[in-house]
């Protein structure tokens, strides 16, 4: 999802591109607790009936689920911040803080959406300047990429 800050005429424009977090941190925690409760209840009943080896496997299942949810939480910290000033477009990308920064001159940068060669793969959105290119919006849907492309082209045309 993209968030746009700044008016159509004033100062620098900032666009924040980030993954969609439909469940949220609290939702992931509730999901984990519900799954843990169900898994431990079934494992507990099985252990009381003499099938105690089920308990370590239930623990391993919950550990794997916790690791997966942690990795999802980490990936949701990904951000691309596009800042458009008078003669410069700066892209900062990273997890939680900028890990890569790239500047483009607004007079030379092109915003292009390359269609995929395969129908099951999404199109890719690029900023190109001369022979160099920088992919943006990797976490966006195809419609969101089209919207971002159009918004960037409008902002670059205004400048």
Number of structural domains the chain divides into: 2
- What residue numbers bound the domain in which 103 lies? 2-21+79-158
**Tens-binned pLDDT, residue by residue, of the chain (159 aa):** 545 444 444 678 999 999 999 999 999 999 999 999 999 999 999 999 999 999 999 999 999 999 999 999 999 999 999 999 988 999 999 998 889 999 999 889 999 999 887 878 888 999 999 889 999 999 998 899 999 999 999 998 886
- pLDDT tens, 71-110? 999 999 999 999 999 889 999 999 988 899 999 998 899 9
User: What is the number of alpha carbons within 13 Å of residue 135 lying toward its C-beta?
Assistant: 7
111 and 41 in a single domain? The answer is: no
> Do residues 153 and 88 both lie within one domain?
yes
Instruction: Work out the angle at residue 98's Cα, subtended by the Cα atoms of residues 141 and 69, and round it to the nearest 5 degrees.
Output: 55
What is the 8-class DSSP label of residue 96? Answer: S
Q: Are residues 17 and 29 in the same domain?
A: no
Q: What is the CATH number of the domain that holds 140?
A: 2.30.29
0.95 surpassed by pTM? no
């Amino acid at each position: 999802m993209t968030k746009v800050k700044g008016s159509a005429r004033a100062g620098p424009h900032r666009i924040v591109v980030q993954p969609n977090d439909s469940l949220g941190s609290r939702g992931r925690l509730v999901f984990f607790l519900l799954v843990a409760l169900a898994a431990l209840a079934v494992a507990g009943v099985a252990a009381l009936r003499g099938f105690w080896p089920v308990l370590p496997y239930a623990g391993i299942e919950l550990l794997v689920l916790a690791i997966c949810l942690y990795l999802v939480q980490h990936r949701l910290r990904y951000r691309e911040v596009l800042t458009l000033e008078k003669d410069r477009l700066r892209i900062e990308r990273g997890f939680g803080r900028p890990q890569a920064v790239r500047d483009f001159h607004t007079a030379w940068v092109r915003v292009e959406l390359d269609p995929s060669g395969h129908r099951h793969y999404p199109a890719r959105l690029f900023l190109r300047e001369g022979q160099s290119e920088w992919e943006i919006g990797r976490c966006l849907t195809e419609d969101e990429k089209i919207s971002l492309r159009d918004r960037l082209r409008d902002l670059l045309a205004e400048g």
